[in-house]
Structure formats: C-alpha cells, structure tokens
Amino acid sequence: MRYRPLLAVLGLLVMTLAGILLVPLLVAAALGSSDELPAFYTTIGICLATGMVLWGANRDCQKELRSREAFAVVGLGWAVLSFFGALPFWFAPGGIPSLLDAYFETMSGFTTTGATILGDIESLPKGLLFWRSLTQWLGGMGIVVLTVAVLPLLGSGGIQMMRAEVPGPTTEKLAPRMAQTAMMLWGIYTLLTLVQIGLLLPVMGWFDAVTHSFCSLATGGFSTKNSSIAHFDSAYIDGVITVFMLMAGLNFVLHYRAIFHRRPLYFKDSEFKFFSGLIIGSIIFVTLMLHLGSFPDRVVHPGKYDTLMECFRYASFQVASIGTGAGFVTADYDHWPNACRVVLLVLMVIGGCAGSTSGGVKIFRVLTLVKFGLREIALLIRPHAVLPIKIGGKPVEREVVSRVMGILILWVLLFLISTLLFSFILDPAWSSGSGSLEVVEAQQVPGALEDDLLLTAVGATLATLGNIGPGIAGVGPLENYSSIPAAGKILMILLMLLGRLEIYAVLVIFLPMTWRR
C-alpha cells in the first residue's frame, strides 16, 4: 500500500466537500435560516484545513494510484466524507445532538439509503434539510465520480476509483477518457433532475421541488415532510416521482444513448426488459390484492382503496419506490396483505439495473444467476456440451460470472450474519451488563412487539444492505431508526456502506494484504 497517494486523494475529496457545503450555506442564507450558518462556516473551515494538509503534504504522489489504493480511497473516502458531512448536523443548535446519529443520517444520505433517525423532520432548519437532500443527490451518481469528473489531476488513478465505485459488475466507458465519461454521466443526471424540478414546480414550492427531485433521481427517499410524499396527497406528484424513480433505476448508459446518440435502445436491453416485466407484474399483482383484499390499512383509512385506480396509484408508487430502493412512501405498506409485503421484500433484494442509482443486488446479477442455474441443469443432460451464459445475445465473460457469484454469495452471508446480530441486539433477554451488545426492550422499538423482533431484524438488514431506507415491522414505513441501540446503528452504518459500494470496495479495506507495502 502506498499511503501518500491515498492521503493526497482523500485530501482532494475533503476539499471538494468544503466547496459543496457552500451550496446549503447559501440556501440557508437566502431563506433567512441563520441558526445553522455558523455550523456550515465551521465545517467548511475544518474541511479546508484538513484537506489542504493531506493534499499539500502528498500532492506529488496523487497520480500513483494503483487498484489497491483506489479501492481503499473509495471505501475510506465515503466513510471520511460522511464524517465531515455529519458535522453541520452536529454543530447546529437545531440539528442532531448525537454525533453517532448525525453520522448515521449522513451515511444514509451519501449511500442513498434513506433510513432516518429523525422523528420530527420538519423541525430541522431549512439549510440542514437542503444539505440532507443534497447528500443523497451527490451520493446517487457518486461523489468520488464527481471528483474524477472535475479533477483530472488523478490521471489513470481516476479509472480505478470509478471502477471501484460505480454500481454494477462492469463499468462502460462512454468516452476515451474516464473523466469525460464521469462528466457525461453527471450531465445526464443533472439534466433529468432539472426536468423533474420543472415538472414539480407548478404544484410545489421551489424548496420542496428541488429537494424531492434530488432524492428521486438518487433513489434516496429523504423527504422534507414527516409523512414523506403522502403529505402532499397528490396523484400528479405521485406520478411524476414514480416516473423519475423508475428512470433512475435504469442503466444510465441507456439514457446517454437515447439523449446524445438519439438511439433509444431500451427495448433491446435484456436488463430493461426483465426490470420492466418485474415492475409491471408486481404493480398488477399488488393493485389487485389491494382492491380485492381486506387488510389493516383499509380499516385505518376507509375509502382510500375504494376504486381500482386509487389502488393502482398506491401500488405503482410503492412498487417503484421499493423496487428502485428510493424508499419514499405514500401508504403504510407494512399493513397491506402479507402477499404484497412478500413482493416488496423480493423487490428490495433484487433492486434496479446495473449502472443505475438504485440499490439491491441488481437485475444483471439476478439474470446471470438464473441463466447459470439453467445452464447447470442443461449440463446434467448434456455434460460435454459447451453452453456459454448469454445475456442480450452476448456471452458473459467467465470473469464477470465469477464476480457476480462472489457478490451474491457475500451478500447472502452478510444478510444472514447481520440478521443474527440484529436479533441479539434487539432481544430483550440480553442486557447491557451481560455482553458487549447494547440491548433494547421490545416495546422501545416503535411498532415492534416481541413477535415482530425477528421481522424488525430482517427488515433493518434488508433496508440498509439493499440501500432501501424503510423496512418492515419496527423499522417500517411509518417508523424511524432512532430507537435502535448504538450497536445496531453502527452495524447499519457498515451495511449501508457495504450495500452502496457493493461489498468488495469495503471488505478489501479489512484485508491485511491491502495494507502491506
């Protein structure tokens, strides 16, 4: 490991964050929300000082990044940036008094998870609310990718960093230089965000339109309202956000070709066809279940699900939100029929397409897994046949298949181990004096009765590892994560990072060989 180029790039990232923090500072000043201004000033000063020291002392080595340092930069970079990004929440008088909670909220933002510890979101000062949404927008396309785009000083090291960060099994170059590819991706991302803002402005104030557009395209799910999108109770707003969440769940390379090459190849893409079929099938199924079934939320909100179109409205929004990992809510899906909850849990796991801002294991990997299984069955009948795995008519390289299988195995292992750990953390039989894990009484987790603790553990694991946000039971759509013990929050912070960086870029930091010279 070469430490100096690692420290130089971390310094650049921290200085980039200092510049970005000027945006919420100016927004707070423009809105007359002055309480949080000193917090932003202080954080910007700390970021500049830290970044200049790290970069200044090591800038002559910044182009010496190899794959080992690049993976370390991405993994450590997100952890470090989340720490500095948490400082305004912690410093501001009306912010978040606990540094751990502030770090949790910021990590949830940068990883576009959308899990929150805030019980009263609307009480947060406007500048902090804007910064909270901006963290998701930055995390959607990747703040490291942004740095590659605007700071070509990294040379070939930028390629390694982008490959380590961009979701999906492969990273497609849209231009000869990786910095140009990053700029193009950010350009499309910004363009779609501006279009959504324009569509929302007639029915929302500019502040809500901008913040919700940030979180829709990032598939993050942070809202400025306590009841999320349900606060607006508007079919038009639901429809606009649904469309842009689904667009964000697609591979951005498809958007690039449609916009710049005028070649809309969506229906020729296997991932798009699989994703579309999955979403449409889920919407139809959930709509029919809501229209025909009897369930608790129908009793709580009589008349809400009376017509087929109303059922379609809520079903399509929640399927799109959960299927892309956005996590916005317009209804309490945790009190829908169990069959609907199962469908949503499956969508949490699968997620969106590779090269999108969505969470989950990604459609490409699911397709590869299915075709791998079918090939193994065929080989039982014809053991000497040569049967390559093909997606979209093109053979998938053996190296890519190996990486896909490795990610899926690690994902399942992490899910099982984390669910087990959460079960201990939430179990009222454990006390703080009987072990190293902090415990919480069952009734302290809102919505989680003793019989629901396992569901809460499963929901918290899926929601954070899949970068979804809301889960089920004690961490369902109407709940938050404030009552989860400190040990559980630390575990979820790690899971959010693992989910966003797709496991490898984080686990490589813990390997001793990474740090050997």
pLDDT, tens only, 237-246 = 999 999 999 9
435/345 Cα distance (integer angstroms) = 32
Instruction: In whole angstroms, give the CA distance from residue 404 to residue 502.
Output: 11
pLDDT above 80 (res 481): yes
pLDDT, tens digit, for every residue of 294-330? 899 998 888 899 999 999 999 999 999 999 999 999 9
* Residue among 48, 252, 39, 217 nearest 136 (CA): 217
Per-residue pLDDT of 41-74, as tens digits, reads 999 999 999 999 998 887 776 555 666 777 778 8
Asked if the model's pLDDT at residue 168 lies above 90, the reply is: no
Q: What percent of the chain has pLDDT over 90?
A: 56
Condensed to tens digits (0 to 9), the pLDDT of residues 178-201 reads: 667 777 888 899 999 999 999 999
Over the stretch 326-381, which tens digit does the pLDDT of each residue have? Answer: 999 999 999 999 999 999 999 999 999 988 888 899 998 999 999 999 999 999 98
Long-range contacts at 443-447 (CB < 8 A, ≥ 24 apart): 444/483, 445/474, 445/475, 445/483, 445/484, 446/474, 446/479, 446/480, 446/483, 447/334, 447/473, 447/474, 447/475, 447/476, 447/478, 447/479
Is residue 154 scored above 80 in pLDDT? Answer: no
**Is residue 505 a contact partner of residue 75, using CB atoms and an 8 Å limit?**
yes
Owner of token pair 């230089």: 177
The pTM of the whole model exceeds 0.85: yes
Pairing label, strands 394-395, 390-391: antiparallel
Which is nearest to 105 in space by CA: 88, 93, 121, 117? Answer: 117
Beta-carbon contacts of residue 359 (< 8 Å; ≥ 6 apart): 112, 113, 219, 324, 325, 348, 351, 352, 466, 467, 468, 499, 500
Residue 30 has pLDDT above 60, yes or no: yes
Q: Give the span between the Cα atoms of 466 and 460, in whole angstroms.
A: 10
- What pLDDT was estimated at residue 183? 79
- Cα–Cα distance for residue pair 423/428, rounded to 1 Å: 10
Q: Are 505 and 164 in contact (CB under 8 A)?
A: yes
